[in-house]
Amino acid sequence: DAGVTQSPTHLIKTRGQQVTLRCSPKSGHDTVSWYQQALGQGPQFIFQYYEEEERQRGNFPDRFSGHQFPNYSSELNVNALLLGDSALYLCASRNGKIGYTFGSGTRLTVV
């Protein structure tokens, strides 16, 4: 049973560019959340998608946007990249109230 799959695993972008990260949830999961984890810190909640709509959002600017598709997969888009956007981006999925299953993350480096 495949867990949460994220792509790509690593990415290097230049300041000002745009990036799209992808996530396939665990089979049977319908809710997807995205997190940003800076080095040495805990994951920070970006937003949550359910039924193709953004349901909850953390304290992130509008440069961060997302999408959920009918097959429950999701994308995270970040525009006008800043050096401070360098982090591990984690996708997590769940069905119901049981704890999230996390993917291994995408390591984004902005230079």
Partner 1 sequence: AQSVTQLDSQVPVFEEAPVELRCNYSSSVSVYLFWYVQYPNQGLQLLLKYLSGSTLVKGINGFEAEFNKSQTSFHLRKPSVHISDTAEYFCAVIDTNAGKSTFGDGTTLTVKP
Residues forming contacts to partner 1 in the complex (CB under 8 A) are 4, 31, 33, 35, 40-45, 48, 55-56, 58, 90, 92, 97-105
The nearest distance, CB 105 to partner 1, in angstroms, is 5
Beta strands 10-13; 106-110: pairing state: parallel
The nearest distance, CB 63 to partner 1, in angstroms, is 20
- With respect to partner 1, which residue has the nearer C-beta, 83 or 98? 98
